[in-house]
Amino acid sequence: MSDDVRPTPPADRYGRRPTGPAEGRPGGLSRGARAAIALALAVAVALTAWFAVAEYRRSPVDADVVSFRVTSSEEIEIDFQVSLPRGTTAVCTVGALSPSFAQVGSLAVPVGPSDTGTVRYTVTVRTTQRADAAVIEGCISG
């Protein structure tokens, strides 16, 4: 009884056992190949995050709402200032919000170029209902 014989399950009882290229190991890809794929994915995610942060920080345009005045249930007047490098142009999007913070109006405003670096603008934004707040949604230089 010293024979080293392993019992074999009946054929097709548990499905076929996959065999891979790695020295008879089941599974498909070798441990090195799986590690290389994981490393490549990690590098891709890191590069994507790096470029996203770099793009966000690169924008030289800064805008702030100075004041706003609700002129009617269909309009709001927004005063805002934009700081940007001399000679730079941008497009800033200003928005109007309802009391429940839903966007009820939006306007893209071309700004610049400026000799002073900071420029103040007053715009009237048409709204779909009475606005209760004004925001700068963002500015894109270009």
CATH number at residue 130: 2.60.40
Provide the pLDDT for residue 18: 56
Closest by CA position to 69, among listed 61, 80, 85, 83 = 80
Provide the pLDDT for residue 107: 96
Let me know whether 128 and 74 are in one domain.
yes
Let me know whether 31 and 76 are in one domain.
no
Strands annotated E in 8-142: 62-72, 75-83, 90-97, 103-111, 118-126, 133-141
18 or 42, which is more confident? 42
Of the pLDDT bands very low, low, confident and very high (cuts 50, 70, 90), residue 29 is confident
Q: Is residue 2 part of a domain?
A: no
Let me know whether 133 and 67 are in one domain.
yes
- Can the peptide bond before residue 110 be classed as cis, meaning omega within 30 degrees of 0? no
Let me know whether 74 and 115 are in one domain.
yes
Number of domains in the chain: 2
pLDDT in tens, 35-83: 999 999 999 998 888 887 776 666 688 899 999 999 999 999 999 999 9
- Print the domain residue range for 22: 15-58
